[in-house]
Amino acid sequence: MTVSDRPARIGMFGGTFDPVHLGHLRSGVELCEALSLDRLHMIPAPQPPLRDRPNVSAEQRLALLEAGIGDTPGLVADGRELRRDGPSYSLLTLEELRDDYGGDARLIMALGQDAFLKLADWHQPARLFELAHIVVMARPGYAPERSEALAELLGGREVNSVAELMTTPQGRVLAVTLPSPMRISATGIRQRLVKGESVRYLLPEAVERDIAAQRLYALPDSGDTA
Ligand code: ATP
């Protein structure tokens, strides 16, 4: 059976990407390989949680994501949440992707372990399973423990292999450990940039270049000459 004979396998990987880094991008590439995805939509959320972000807009985060992805096969920088009014619930994004790809496509929402631990607090979390599978990626520094609410939400949905996951279009959960886990966080990168420290090899060169050229994440110039 050739690849075109089987239902499409489409991934959604959302985040603040503030900024995108190699932990995101390498995970994206390895996830595509591990699950034989046809495409992975990387989708920045317009409203990151409140934090000290003096000068970086959602459009700039999307532009950095585009620069970071470059011509990487399979990865797509998808700005759909920036073009939508109202709250940026993943549920709405999955609904759109389900409409785009049809009922037979295998739709996979990918999450790092830290984001997965908070899943029970999301908007209508049980409904996510009516639209997609969830694949959880191990992330260094985050243990695979879970709250009672999360365990209840997962119910009997967990499977142990990609093959099992792909037998249905949605509704199951798979935990994966990808080959190259990276202890990189956007928080750490922002902290380094504010202090003027090197971020080389934590994010793609094109992203580092654009951040430097636009002086993103740096403290605003106080104008003091003293
Ligand atoms: P911040 O430090 O600002 O919270 P972050 O580095 O965690 O940012 P996000 O944009 O918040 O990045 O994360 C988007 C998604 O990517 C989440 O599902 C998160 O778990 C996952 N992710 C982020 N960094 C990694 C990493 N190094 N390895 C695997 N998954 C990651």
CATH superfamily of domain region 9-181: HUPs (3.40.50.620)
- Mean pLDDT, residues 138-153: 90
- So what's the pLDDT on residue 226? 38
Q: Is it the case that residue 225 has pLDDT exceeding 60?
A: no
Q: How far apart are CA 117 and CA 41, in angstroms?
A: 22
- So what's the pLDDT on residue 5? 84
Best residue among 13, 139, 176 to mutate for probing ligand 1, ranked by most atoms within 8 Å of CB:
139
Q: How far apart are CA 39 and CA 212, in angstroms?
A: 30
Residue having the nearest C-alpha atom to atom 20 of ligand 1: 112
- So what's the pLDDT on residue 49? 52
- So what's the pLDDT on residue 52? 57
Q: How far apart are CA 112 and CA 186, in angstroms?
A: 13
- Token pair 């109202």 is at which residue? 86
Atom of ligand 1 nearest to the CA of 138: 29
**Cβ(186) – ligand 1 distance below 6 Å:** yes
Residue type, 188: G
187 alpha carbon to ligand 1 midpoint, in Å? 9
18 alpha carbon to ligand 1 midpoint, in Å? 9
pLDDT digits (tens, 9 = 90+) for 96-143: 999 999 999 999 999 999 999 999 999 899 999 999 999 999 999 998
Q: 19: cis peptide before it, omega within 30°?
A: yes
- So what's the pLDDT on residue 47? 73
Q: Is it the case that residue 3 has pLDDT exceeding 60?
A: no
In the structure encoding, which two tokens stand for residue 22, read together? 């190699």
- So what's the pLDDT on residue 97? 98
**Cβ(18) – ligand 1 distance below 6 Å:** yes
pLDDT band of residue 54 (cuts 50, 70, 90) is low
**Cβ(16) – ligand 1 distance below 6 Å:** yes
3-state secondary structure of 82: helix
Q: How far apart are CA 111 and CA 182, in angstroms?
A: 14
Atom of ligand 1 nearest to the CA of 178: 29
Atom of ligand 1 nearest to the CA of 23: 27
Residue in 6, 8, 186 with CA at minimum distance from that of residue 112: 186
185 alpha carbon to ligand 1 midpoint, in Å? 6
- So what's the pLDDT on residue 221? 67
Q: Show me where the domains of the chain are located.
A: 9-181
Beta bridge partners of 134: 109, 173
- Mean pLDDT, residues 195-206: 97
- So what's the pLDDT on residue 1? 46
Dihedral sign from CA coordinates of 29, 142, 123, 20: negative
**Cβ(68) – ligand 1 distance below 6 Å:** no
Q: Which of 52-56, 80-84, 161-165, 213-217 has the lowest mean pLDDT?
A: 52-56
